[in-house]
Amino acid sequence: MVKLLIDPLEELSGLPHSAWEPIGYLVLLGRQAGRVLIDENFLFFVRWGAFSALFLSVALGRFKRARFFFQLFAGVLLIHYQATVRSLGEVNHTETTLIYPVLALIAFDAVTVFRKEKDHSIPFGFPIVLTMIAICCSYSFAGAHRLIMEGVSNFQSGIMTYWCVWRGLDTSYFEMKFGAYVLTVPWLRHAMEIGFPIVTLLEAAGLFSLVSRKFKYVFLISMAGFHIGVVLMMGILFWEPIALYVTFFDLERVFGKREVSADEITNREAEGVVLTEPGDDREMVAVGHVDARD
């Protein structure tokens, strides 16, 4: 919702029609459909329609079917949103990190809306795990692509120096950029060139953070440091994956225990979760659920 609020999608209407190269399902509509699809009024409808649908899905949370309708409508508009910007040549990897968890949550809610009342076969934490997988895959695929398609020579080409200088001199939202200094500060240039392959290896191994708590912390701290460095050197902020890092942590452990009533124990046991006694927040999952955050 924050992304939709601040992203000026309607400004794409100022691009010439020749820039429209439809991809995916938009190919079926033909190139001429681009005149309508990148019209300012239609882009306004896509952005604010998706925002309003997401807002209503939250506001109507207690009404399952109404909530699901607005979630589904938002999902369709978000997919079209991504297809539109990609048909104009823009590939924003960080937005992909956001849309996959959103679609996973919509799919999960669809199951909960239409399943039988006493059917507890799908664990409550399933969408959180899917979100974690989506985040890890976004890093792992990027790292693996860099290693397989570009190879070791990419780390010996001075590409990081080029990127830092290029982005450091380019205009962006952030004026505090130190990328150009890599040409005059030798230790800074060496740090960027050495850190590049290390970050790539950690990215490629990102999926291991789903099964190893120790590696999870190493991975998250390293990626957070990587994003801070990118902001300072290149003026590029990947805030979308950082905002989703919270899914990797057990917030109950962070904020302390909570009291569990006898009624909740009975309800959770019906879902396949065993709570030891009232006031004890330790859980043992009895049927088909693994907390990947641990």
3-state secondary structure of 185: coil
pLDDT digits (tens, 9 = 90+) for 149-183: 777 777 777 777 777 777 777 665 556 667 677 77
For residue 63, give both structure tokens. 């009404």
Q: Is the predicted pLDDT of residue 236 greater than 80, yes or no? A: no
Q: Is the predicted pLDDT of residue 294 greater than 60, yes or no? A: no
Instruction: Please report which confidence band the pLDDT of residue 287 belongs to, taking 50, 70 and 90 as the band edges.
Output: very low
Q: Is the predicted pLDDT of residue 293 greater than 50, yes or no? A: no
Q: Determine what percent of the chain is predicted with pLDDT higher than 70.
A: 76
Q: Is the predicted pLDDT of residue 255 greater than 60, yes or no? A: no
Q: According to the model, what pLDDT value does residue 97 have?
A: 73
Q: Are 97 and 258 in contact (CB under 8 A)?
A: no
Residue 283 φ then ψ, to 5°: -125, 145
3-state secondary structure of 283: strand
Instruction: Please report which confidence band the pLDDT of residue 289 belongs to, taking 50, 70 and 90 as the band edges.
Output: very low
Please give the average per-residue pLDDT across 228-233, as a whole number.
83
Q: Which of 121-125, 135-139, 215-219, 229-233 has the lowest mean pLDDT?
A: 121-125
Instruction: Please report which confidence band the pLDDT of residue 286 belongs to, taking 50, 70 and 90 as the band edges.
Output: very low
Please tell me the distance from the alpha carbon of residue 253 to that of residue 248, in angstroms, as a whole number. 12
Please give the average per-residue pLDDT across 223-238, as a whole number.
83
Q: Is the predicted pLDDT of residue 138 greater than 50, yes or no? A: yes
Q: According to the model, what pLDDT value does residue 275 have?
A: 44
Q: According to the model, what pLDDT value does residue 176 have?
A: 62
CA–CA distances in Å: residue 106 to residues 4, 121, 259, 266, 293: 18, 17, 30, 28, 21
- Looking at residue 137, the DSSP 8-state letter turns out to be H
Q: Are 219 and 207 in contact (CB under 8 A)?
A: no
Q: According to the model, what pLDDT value does residue 283 have?
A: 42
Q: According to the model, what pLDDT value does residue 218 have?
A: 92
Q: According to the model, what pLDDT value does residue 242 have?
A: 84
B/e letters for 172-202, b = 16+ CB within 10 Å, e = fewer, are eeeeebebeebeeeeebbeebbeebbebbeb
Q: According to the model, what pLDDT value does residue 165 have?
A: 78
10 Å Cβ neighbour count for 39?
A: 14
Q: What is the mean pLDDT of the chain?
A: 75
Q: According to the model, what pLDDT value does residue 221 have?
A: 92
- What DSSP string runs through 62-117? TSHHHHHHHHHHHHHHHHHHHHHHHHTT---HHHHHHHHHHHHHHHHHHHHHHS-T
pLDDT digits (tens, 9 = 90+) for 178-213: 767 777 778 888 888 888 888 889 999 989 988 888
For residue 202, give both structure tokens. 């950690």
For residue 46, give both structure tokens. 């896509």
pLDDT digits (tens, 9 = 90+) for 62-114: 777 788 888 888 888 888 888 888 888 776 666 777 777 777 777 777 777 66
pLDDT digits (tens, 9 = 90+) for 4-47: 777 778 888 888 878 888 888 888 888 888 888 888 888 888 88
Please tell me the distance from the alpha carbon of residue 79 to that of residue 24, in angstroms, as a whole number. 11
